[in-house]
Structure 1
Amino acid sequence: MNKKVRLIDIPKISDPRGNLSVIEKDCIPFKIKRVYYLYDVPSDAYRGGHAHKEQQAFLIALSGSFDVVLNDGKERLTIMLNKPNKGLLIPTGVWREIENFSSGAVCLVLASDVFEEADYIRDFEAFKLFVGS
């Protein structure tokens, strides 16, 4: 995929009492302006189904697992998230769908901007025109 989609390790501090992960400083390449999470998603449902013109996102499986299906207009890629110390950076101009949620899965999303409907591309044909494919 020619976009800068990538998995990023989140620092993990291990301790006999449990693990602690921290997102601060330069862990992700943007300032966080919005935080939301998906949970209680039925295993046969999917979320996402859009791209952003300007906003970047960082997805983390806090619990359980799910697949993130990405499309940059030329290539399709599926990445399973199932570790709370690994996050997926999704830059602008990448279509995403999230599916195959395991029981108890929680998807945390850190976003580079506040909600702005005009930033969303919710039609796949319009997305292909946006990215020039």
Structure 2
Amino acid sequence: MNALPFHSGQIIDLPKVNDQRGNLTFIEGLSHVPFEIKRVYYLYDVPGGAERGGHAHKDLQQLMIAVAGSFDVTLDDGKQKTTVHLNRPYQGLYVSDMTWREMSNFSSGSVCLVLASTEYDESDYCRDYDAFLAAIARTNS
């Protein structure tokens, strides 16, 4: 695993193999990301003006990649919000547990690939922002 600690909102540069026939990027769990990859999913055909996310996860870690097009990800740790614009298929945005995320400004034809540290578990979701803030306050006290 990478010796540097990972933090939510960190952009991770992924390996990029240049070739005159086209580029190739690969991702290995516990090497390029600080977790074993248990689930992969992607968002596409997001209508103009639509937003995705609007939740946090109690235990899940993710890497979000704009494999096509672009979009914005706003991360909120309960104290400050940061917006990151993703538009490079060889960079991923690391999102740790207990980080509220909102995705917006999807360009036409954009595809968001997400690598996740756990399988789907509805009980891991925190979908109420006030409950999220209360949980953050409890862990910080």
How far off is 1:79 after superposition? 0.1
Q: 2:111 aligns with which of 100, 106, 112?
A: 106
Give 1:91's aligned amino acid: S
Task: Show the 5 A alignment for 1:1-133.
Answer: 4-5=7-8, 6-24=10-28, 26-132=31-137
How far off is 1:43 after superposition? 2.0
Q: Separation in 1 of the partners of 2:120 and 2:130? A: 22
- Secondary structure of the residue aligned to 1:51 is strand
- Percent of pairs identical after alignment? 55
Contact 1:51 1:96 in 2 (8 A): yes
Q: Separation in 1 of the partners of 2:88 and 2:135? A: 32
Contact 1:43 1:99 in 2 (8 A): no
- Normalised by the length of structure 1, the TM-score is 0.96
How far off is 1:92 after superposition? 0.5
Instruction: Extract unaligned runs of 5+ from structure 1.
Output: none
- Normalised by the length of structure 2, the TM-score is 0.90
Structure 1 stretches of 4+ with a deviation exceeding 2 A read none
Q: Separation in 2 of the partners of 1:43 and 1:17? A: 32
CA RMSD in angstroms comes to 1.2
- Secondary structure of the residue aligned to 2:130 is helix
- Secondary structure of the residue aligned to 2:120 is coil
What count of residue pairs does the alignment treat as equivalent? 131
How far off is 1:24 after superposition? 1.5
1:72-122 residue CA offsets vs partner (Å, 9 max, x unmatched): 000000000000000000000100001000000000000000010110000
How far off is 1:48 after superposition? 0.4
How far off is 1:44 after superposition? 0.3
How far off is 1:4 after superposition? 1.4
